Every structure is written in C-alpha cells, then in structure tokens.
Chains A and B, each alone.
Chain A
Amino acid sequence: MDTDMSASGGGDPQPYINEDFPSDGNEDGQLFESTEEPEFEFDESGLELAADDDLARENSEGSAFQSGSITPDGLIDEDFEKELGTPSDGEEEDEGEFQDVAQHNILEVAGDDVYGRKVIIFSSCKLPSSEKLDHQRLFLYLKHTLDQYVENDYVIVYFHYGLTSKNKPKLSWLLQVYRELDRKYKKNLKALYLVHPTRFIKILWNVFKPFISAKFGRKVMYVNYLHELKEHLHFDQLVVPEPVLQYDAKQVKSNKPPYPYSGDRVDDSSGAQKTQQFGVTLSHIRQNYKCVIPPVVEISVEYLRVNALDVEGIFRRSANARTLKEVQKKFNQGLTVDFCTEGDVHIAAVILKTFLRELQEPLLTFDLYQPIVRLHNQDEGRQMVDVQRMLREELPEDNYIILKYILQFLTEIVAHCEENKMTSMNLSIVFGPNLLWPKGQASLSAMGYLNNFTRYLIDHYRDLFES
C-alpha cells in the first residue's frame, strides 16, 4: 500500500507539505502539533476577536459543551483553549490553504444531534471528478476539519448517493484514511450513518467486517431513507444536498410505505398536479378547487348517503384494487366520478377512507396526536370539555368543517346499524387509523385510544358539534 501511496500521491502533495509543514509529512502527530503552535503565535493580535466570534458561534449552535460533554472541569478548560485556538485559525486558514477543497463543501458541520454530539456531514455527490481534486489534499482537509471536533464525541453522516466512477477516490486512499486517522478519531466517533447505501457497500462492508474492530462495526448504521435520520438528528439542521434530496424522494416514492409518513415528502406542491386530491394537503385542495370540503369527500359521501346506508359491512369491506386505482386517478385528474357506473358501493367507501389516509397530515392533525392519546386517562366529565375545546380551538377551521361533515354522515350510518351491522364501535375501528396517525410508528395501545376517541366522536356527535 505504501508504494501505492507514494505512486499516486507522491507527485503533487509532497511539495505542498514541504512548503507549509517543515516536519515530515508521514508523521501525522508531529505534523499537526507543528501546525498549531506557530499559528498561536501568529494570531495573537486577532485572538480576542476570533474568540468572540467563536463564542457567538458556540451559542448559536446550541453549544457542544452544555449539551453533550460530560467532561470534568479541567478538561473543558483545556478544550476551550483549543477551541479558541484552532477553529478560528482554521477558518482563516481555510480561506487560504484549503480553499480549493473547501469550496466544494464536501464536509459540513451541522450542529448537534439529539444526544448533543457534533454532526459532520460528508456528501459524496459534491466530490468533483478525480482529475480536478487531489485526494491527498482532501485527506488533509478532512483531518484538519475533524481535528476541531474529535476531542468531543461526534457523529458522521455520509451521503453515499452521487459517488460515481468519475469522482470516487481510490481504495488505497480509503485504506490510508483508515490507517492514518488514529485512535482518537475512531474513539470519539459515536456513529457513522451511511445514507442510501448500495448493495455493493453492504457487501464490501460485510467482507471487511471481520478485519475491522467489532466496536467500530457497531457504530455503522445504514439509513435507507432520510426520514430515518430524524430519530437521531435534528433533521432541520442538516444541510442535505439537493441531488440527495431528489434521490430520496424518488426512493421513498418507489418504495412508499403503505402508511403515510408526512414530512419526508420534501415539498408538497411542486410535484403534485393542481387537480391532485390524493396524497396532498387540505390547503392544496382548497387552493385549487376553491372549496373547503374536498370534492372527492363530497361526491363519495353524497353517493353513499343515497346508496349505501343499509349495505352490510359498508366501510369494512375492501374493494377491487384495480377499479380503486382507476377511480383515484380520475379524481386526481380533476374529473368528476359517478360511482353509479362503477357498480360497487364499496368503492366509494374505500375511496373516502383512502383519501383520508393519504392526506399528508391527518385530518385531526399531528399536533393533536399526543393530547388525544392522553385523553384516555381523564375522567368522563372533563373529557367532554377537553374534546370540545380541542375541536373548536386547536383544530384548524377547515379540518373542523370536514371532520364535522364526515362524522355527521357516520352517525347516519350508525342509525342504520340494524341493517348494515356497522355500530359506532365497528366504524371507529375502520375509521380511527384514517383520521389520525403519529409521525412515526403507532403503538398498539395508542391505536386503541385513537379508536376509542373516534368512537367517542361518533357517539357524542350531537353534543360536540351541534350544541
């Protein structure tokens, strides 16, 4: 490997190293000590200013020291000196020395994760082609950036998408990185998130796993979809490169889970057609159709009211999947659908449920999820007051109107439960998960509470909506 290294990187980086660091480039420990100290002296005049800057930055980023590190006092002091010294210098240095590498923004620091650890992002899609970028320089830059953070725990988010044969670094380079980043880098790295890993990476990883320490192996986590990162990181702080976002949107779309994760659709209106009714937001429909109650809801409810009140198992039965898709498509194209021609009353019922389920945000809104789940341990008397307040004050007005419209219809169905066998209990089981769902995975018990709540809404419709 050594021969490889000198062969590939011997030409360019060597002179550069000689210029800036008098010590031998191969002995890293020395190399970095020697960079730090002279800078300290040089920068004396600007140190105060730099320190202020740094403090301000620290505060704005939510301070690594407050949140994460449980270091003894002495250590913090030590760290602080270092922080004062290096990053400020580093920034100035970046301007000059690493500018050619830094301008690509391959490495970015994105605040803290939920456990208070620094997050460093490496986006491969920003790597320029191998001819333009000297990987030896990239390594030095990588090391230089990491140096500012490795004293504390940190995590790396690695966006794999965008790595092509053109810009991928040599394997020898990777090995070099692995070897030369010594223990302190590895020890404080708490997690490595591999975003959008390819099969090749997984295989490669499995092959190398036996040779890499088990401890490190545990730190590597695959992230197939961006929204999985939300569990660990403050997603808003992440600077996700545009191509990765697009790729993720495509992935999510092609493998879309049957239950809607709102939020991971990057933006709702850009991709959706104007006439789209399924899988969008209520405001989107309102904007384009100029009515509060979405046409699909109105048409199916009107139809069901006439044709389905006494149909056994209405809303419980499934419908033919193919017909369903066609009807859905028609609605999305803004056409009017006449359910009479479809021949099956259950189509309309399933369409109504599907519409609610595919909304980007549930009709009862994410904000109300927790309060509603918590309702169950309240006594009867307070429940009524609380639910009333929630519906009238916290639920957006449009949602309230649509909810009222649908619930009123559901009470009509319950009134015919002799014939259709759909009691409020039955209806709540089929409607509960369509009116409200959490952002992540729902638990079984929460599901029960949600269904109870739905039943409560149907049973007390009069008191809740008409008093």
Chain B
Amino acid sequence: MVNASKPVSCTLVGDGMVGKTSIALSFIGKQAEENYVATVFENYAGGTSVAGEQYTVSIYDPAGKHDYASMRVCTYTDCEVILMCYNVSDRDSFDSIASFWLPEVRKFRGTKSTVILVATQTDTRNPDSDSSVSTEEGEKLAREINAGGYMETTTQNYDSVKTVFEKVVTCALKCRKKKKTLFKKISRR
C-alpha cells in the first residue's frame, strides 16, 4: 500500500497555540484532543496519495514555545519541508513568522529550504476584527518569504488538512527531483 521509497518528512513550526498538533492529529485521522496540553515533541506518520501514488508523510511536531529552540534545531536538519503555521485570528502569530520563525529556519537550514505557509483555524476568521489576517496578506507574505505555497486550513474540514499534506509531498518531490537532475547533469560529464 505504502510507497517503498523514503517517506516525506516535514516539520511544523509556528507560535504556541496556533494548532500545529491539531493539524497533525487531524491528518492522521485522530480527533484533536481537548485537553489543552502544550507539546514538547511529537512525531506522527500518515499516508496520502498524490498522482495515484501512496506516500508516507512523517510529521515532526516540536514545541512552538520559543523556549524550546535548542530542541527544534535537530528537527530542522532532517526534514524536507517546513510548514510555517499561524493562526488567522491572531496577528501576533502572523507577525512572528517573519520576525522569528523565518530567521530561525534560515539560520539552521540555509536560505534554500522549502517552506509552506499555512494559515490555521480559518473557521474562526472574523473579517471585521483587526487582529484577523486576510487571505491576501497571507499570500503576500508567502511571496515575500519565497514560500513553496500558501495554504489555508481548518481542522473542521478534513479535506483542507489533506491538501496541505498533499502539497508537502509535491514540494518534497519537486525538491528531490531538482537534486537528482543536478546530480545527473554533473555525473554525465
């Protein structure tokens, strides 16, 4: 059932309480827990199919607290795609993408890392509120940080979660292919 090739790995980053763990849990088909406990470090694996092929996606879910920076470092080095999450109804979490998360990821992964910007809890979006972040703003930020994509998601809608991880797989495959062709080009000479 599952593609024998290397599983696609991704890391969820973003401020505390934007719902990173919830996305991961929802993707692997578990109900997001209601017990309100901060994550230290979790690792999940789920399957998804892209273009008719089954892929395993392994998800690292490190703590979003800035306090746990030292632990996140190791997850950065061995994942292929980074999912940067913010809560659409919490502008601070949106601001920290540019002011905290991007610099941190750039520092440990270099500038050429594949990043997907994910807007979470879109069901809570209130267009009248000041703190709410619009789709346009999200897309603009995604362009600015040169992200591989911008996705909106809510755990209320399983399909929106699934598309996020399908995007992860396509991004990772694109990245792998790039490396492969470069290698071929060199070795052919």
**What separation, in Å, do the CA atoms of A89 and B65 have in the docked complex?**
61
In the complex, chain A residues whose CB is within 8 Å of the CB of B176? none
B69 x A257 contact (CB < 8 A): yes
Contact-residue bracket for chain A:
20 to 34
**Which 3 pairs across A and B sit closest by C-beta, in order of nearness?**
A258-B69, A259-B70, A318-B15
* Extra 12 A-B pairs, beta carbons < 8 Å, given A423-B37, A433-B67, A441-B73: A316-B38, A317-B17, A318-B64, A318-B66, A320-B95, A321-B96, A321-B100, A350-B66, A353-B67, A426-B36, A441-B70, A444-B71
Instruction: Name the one of B15, B67, B70, B92 contacting A430, with C-beta atoms under 8 angstroms.
Output: B67
CB distance from B97 to the nearest CB of A (A): 10
B37 x A429 contact (CB < 8 A): yes
Binary interface encoding of chain A residues 233-254 relative to chain B, with 1 for a CB under 8 A from any of its CBs, else 0: 0000000000000000000000
CB distance from A263 to the nearest CB of B (A): 15
CB distance from B13 to the nearest CB of A (A): 12
CB distance from B150 to the nearest CB of A (A): 21
**What separation, in Å, do the CA atoms of A434 and B64 have in the docked complex?**
14
Among residues of A, the one whose C-beta sits closest to the C-beta of B107 is A255
Q: Does B93 sit within 8 A of A, measured CB to CB?
A: yes
A321 x B99 contact (CB < 8 A): yes
Instruction: Name the one of A259, A320, A434, A451 contacting B40, with C-beta atoms under 8 angstroms.
Output: A451
Q: Does B161 sit within 8 A of A, measured CB to CB?
A: no
A317 x B41 contact (CB < 8 A): no
User: Which residues of A are in contact with B by a Cβ distance under 8 Å?
Assistant: 255, 257-259, 313, 316-322, 344, 350, 353-354, 357, 421, 423, 425-426, 429-430, 433-434, 437, 441-442, 444, 447-448, 451
Given A258-B70, A357-B67, A426-B38; A316-B95 close (CB under 8 Å): no
Q: Does B46 sit within 8 A of A, measured CB to CB?
A: no
Q: Which of A318, A322, A442 has the most CB of B within 10 A?
A: A318
Q: Does B139 sit within 8 A of A, measured CB to CB?
A: no
Sample of 11 A–B contacts (CB below 8 Å): A257-B69, A318-B15, A318-B96, A320-B92, A320-B95, A344-B92, A350-B66, A423-B37, A425-B37, A430-B38, A430-B65
**What separation, in Å, do the CA atoms of A426 and B39 have in the docked complex?**
9
CB distance from B21 to the nearest CB of A (A): 12
**What separation, in Å, do the CA atoms of A259 and B99 have in the docked complex?**
17
B100 x A447 contact (CB < 8 A): no
**What separation, in Å, do the CA atoms of A278 and B16 have in the docked complex?**
23
CB distance from B20 to the nearest CB of A (A): 13
A316 x B16 contact (CB < 8 A): yes
Q: Does B63 sit within 8 A of A, measured CB to CB?
A: yes
Q: Does B166 sit within 8 A of A, measured CB to CB?
A: no
B93 x A318 contact (CB < 8 A): yes
**What separation, in Å, do the CA atoms of A426 and B65 have in the docked complex?**
12
Q: Does B68 sit within 8 A of A, measured CB to CB?
A: yes
B66 x A442 contact (CB < 8 A): no
Instruction: Name the one of B63, B70, B73, B74 contacting A429, with C-beta atoms under 8 angstroms.
Output: B63
**What separation, in Å, do the CA atoms of A451 and B104 have in the docked complex?**
24
A448 x B71 contact (CB < 8 A): no
In the complex, chain A residues whose CB is within 8 Å of the CB of B63? 429
In the complex, chain B residues whose CB is within 8 Å of the CB of A316? 16-17, 38, 65
**What separation, in Å, do the CA atoms of A433 and B40 have in the docked complex?**
10
Given A313-B17, A317-B16, A353-B67; A429-B40 close (CB under 8 Å): yes
Among residues of B, the one whose C-beta sits closest to the C-beta of A350 is B66
Among residues of B, the one whose C-beta sits closest to the C-beta of A448 is B40
Given A316-B17, A429-B63; A421-B92 close (CB under 8 Å): no
A322 x B95 contact (CB < 8 A): yes
Given A321-B99, A426-B36; A258-B66 close (CB under 8 Å): yes
Given A255-B107, A316-B38, A429-B37; A321-B69 close (CB under 8 Å): no
B68 x A433 contact (CB < 8 A): yes
CB distance from A256 to the nearest CB of B (A): 10
Given A316-B17, A321-B100, A429-B38; A447-B67 close (CB under 8 Å): no
**What separation, in Å, do the CA atoms of A374 and B40 have in the docked complex?**
20
Among residues of A, the one whose C-beta sits closest to the C-beta of B96 is A321
In the complex, chain B residues whose CB is within 8 Å of the CB of A255? 107
Q: Which of A255, A429, A442 has the most CB of B within 10 A?
A: A429
Q: Which of A258, A317, A322, A448 has the most CB of B within 10 A?
A: A258
In the complex, chain A residues whose CB is within 8 Å of the CB of B17? 313, 316-317
CB distance from A324 to the nearest CB of B (A): 9
